[in-house]
Amino acid sequence: MATWTWFHKLASPPHFYRIAGMLMPWFAWPAAILIIAALYGGLVLAPPDYQQGEGFRMVYVHAPSAWMSMFIYATMAIASAIALIWRMKLAHAVAAAAAPVGAWFTFAALATGSLWGKPMWGTWWVWDARLTSELILLFLYLGFMALRSSIEDPQRADRASAVLAVVGVINLPIIHYSVYWWNTLHQGATITKIGKPSITMDMLWPLLAMMLGFTLYFGAVLMIRLRAEVIRRERNAAWLREELAR
Amino acid sequence: MQPTGLLAAGRLLYARDLKLAFRRWEQITQPVVFFLMVTTLFPLALSPETGQLRQVAAGVLWVAALLSALLALEFMFRSDYEDGTLEQLVLSGQPLWWLALIKALAHWTVSGLPLVLAAPIVALSLAIPTEALGTVVVSLFLGTAILSFLGAVGAGLTLGIRRGSVLLSLLVLPLAMPALIFGARAVDMAVMGDVSRGPLLLLGAMCILSVTLGPFATSAALKVSME
């Protein structure tokens, strides 16, 4: 089938190595422009929040990080499923390359949330539903990476971690909603969520630009990390030696 | 040679696993002893005062049960993997998910069920009122089953890994957190004198999900580990 040739081509390491190298700047430049524009828009142009004052500007780092933490886990799980179903080694490489990036974004979301929580809620940490499920997500990332690093055979590490990612993504909604119900049942803190009234355009566009910028940044980093993965996996291949010699 | 039917194969494997377990008593008793010990630590560390104990009883009971069951999880496939039985099971021609289901069931019978049986005693020692004992037993019955079937995936993935037990808890505990939430909640509601039906039903739904989907993931994990 002609429509499938691109898919098979994508699975060949030399072809993919070149494509990833070509795509990288196309992710990196728009990401840089968007992030700089969004920073200016968010930190300078947007008016202070009527309730939180200047503190609300944390949202421009916090929310996109939280979005990335989930987006990357989904990417990882989809890549793992593809890798298991079609036995595509490159898809395994995608999952492996994405995991540490996702873990750091999750950590960034937790850290910025904590910094934001201190002035707004008065504490560094609240056992709020969103915070808790984000923390569990971090544990899932760490488990995925720990499993990979403790299996020596690379092929077995690939497939074992792929099974784990798929099991994890099935569990993720269950974890999310159970934590959500847990907190609503508990009725602990009085302010569990920042009441978000309709947000003005001045505040909204930098946020959306930042989310898109972070996503593109992930794309750029993923391409770089994937090239490194390909080099690591194909280190004995003849094509790689030619490619690097050029 | 007559091919063995699914049910016959399942019965044989189940009987074999139970027989092996009963020949090594410590494997069955250790999680229970651990469970009793951990729950003894809490009154010592917190306070022997009944009212205060009752407040934390549900959480203590559930966390201790979860950790005890986790302790046994490591041994679900370990000896079969080391002596080659697991390889024979994979090659036996029986569907691997079915064998994984039976093995998880057998594992639950020897590691989860004793915890469920010991739970009323522990519950009484933690000042949980007798009216709540039914909820304690039902919630732990479902919870340990969830952990056995969900944990089987992790046990399959960590086969043959050095220091696999720490890794196993890192893999399984996040996945088991929803069960902990609803289990402890059900017990807590029963202790307060509320109807604990809601969380128990959710726990039951999770149990069904892990019993039905878990074995497929476990068989995939075992195949990866056996290559």
CATH number at residue A164: 1.20.120
Give, as one character, the DSSP assignment of residue B3. P
User: Is the predicted pLDDT of residue A134 greater than 60, yes or no?
Assistant: yes
Domain assignment present for A2:
no
What's the gap in Å between the CA of A126 and the closest CA on chain B?
17
Closest-CA distance of chain B to residue A67, Å: 20
A11-53 pLDDT tens trace: 788 888 888 888 888 998 998 999 998 888 878 877 777 667 7
Judged by DSSP in three states, A103 sits in helix
Q: What is the pLDDT of residue A183?
A: 66
Could you tell me if residue A194 is inside a domain?
yes
Confidence tier at A197 by pLDDT (50, 70, 90): very low
CB contact A181 to B (< 8 Å): yes
Residue A191 has pLDDT above 70, yes or no: no
Overall average pLDDT of the A160-187 stretch: 78
pLDDT of A59 higher than 70: yes
pLDDT band at A199 (very low <50, low <70, confident <90, very high): low
Give domain status of residue A138, yes or no: yes
Residue A186 in this model has a pLDDT that exceeds 60:
no
Task: Determine the structural domain holding residue A196 and report its residue range.
Answer: 16-47+54-245
Instruction: Flag whether pLDDT at A184 surpasses 70.
Output: no
Residue A114: what pLDDT?
Answer: 83
* For residues A72-92, average pLDDT: 90
pLDDT tens readout for residues B184-195: 888 888 888 888
Hey, is A53 helix, strand or coil?
strand
Give mean pLDDT, residues B159-181.
Answer: 86
pLDDT tens string B193-222? 888 888 899 999 999 999 999 999 999 999
Position A179 in a domain: yes
Q: Do A174 and B167 touch (CB under 8 A)?
A: no
Is A178 within 8 Å of B181 when comparing Cβ atoms?
yes
In the three-class reduction of DSSP (H, G, I as helix; E, B as strand; rest coil), residue A30 is classed as helix
Distance from CA of B49 to the nearest CA of A (A): 24
Domains identified in chain A, total number? 1
Whether pLDDT at A216 is above 80: yes
ipTM: 0.84
Does B146 score more than 90 pLDDT? yes
The candidate with the shortest Cα–Cα distance to B194, out of B141, B146, B129, B117, is: B129
pLDDT of residue B209: 92
Counts for chain B of helices (H) and strands (E), in that order: 10, 0
Assigned domain for A114 exists: yes
Q: What was the pLDDT predicted at A50? A: 65
C-alpha–C-alpha distance, residues B160 and B225, integer Å = 8
What is the residue extent of each domain of chain B? 6-226
Give a yes or no: residue A5 inside a domain: no
Residues of A in Cβ contact (< 8 Å) with B173:
139
Q: Which residues of A touch B171 (CB under 8 A)?
A: 143, 146-147, 164
Q: How far is CA A172 from CA A134, B73, B116, B146, B181, in A?
A: 10, 22, 27, 16, 14
Among the ranges given (A29-33, A52-56, A115-119, B47-51), the one the predictor scored with the smallest mean pLDDT: A52-56
Residues of B in contact with A150 (CB under 8 A): 158, 161-164, 167
Question: Is B202 within 8 Å of A178 when comparing Cβ atoms?
Answer: yes
Kindly state whether A170 is in contact with chain B, defined as any CB-CB distance less than 8 angstroms. yes
Q: Is residue A1 part of a domain?
A: no
- Asked whether residue A7 is domain-assigned, the answer is no
pTM: 0.86
Q: What is the pLDDT of residue A3?
A: 64
Long-range contacts of B32-40 (CB under 8 A, 24+ apart): B32/B68, B32/B114, B32/B115, B32/B118, B34/B67, B34/B68, B34/B71, B35/B64, B35/B65, B35/B68, B35/B115, B35/B118, B35/B122, B36/B118, B36/B122, B38/B64, B38/B67, B38/B68, B39/B64, B39/B122, B39/B125, B39/B126
Does the distance separating the beta carbons of A164 and B167 come in below 8 Å?
Answer: no
Q: Do B174 and A143 touch (CB under 8 A)?
A: yes
What does the pLDDT average to over B103-122?
91
More confident residue, A199 or B71: B71
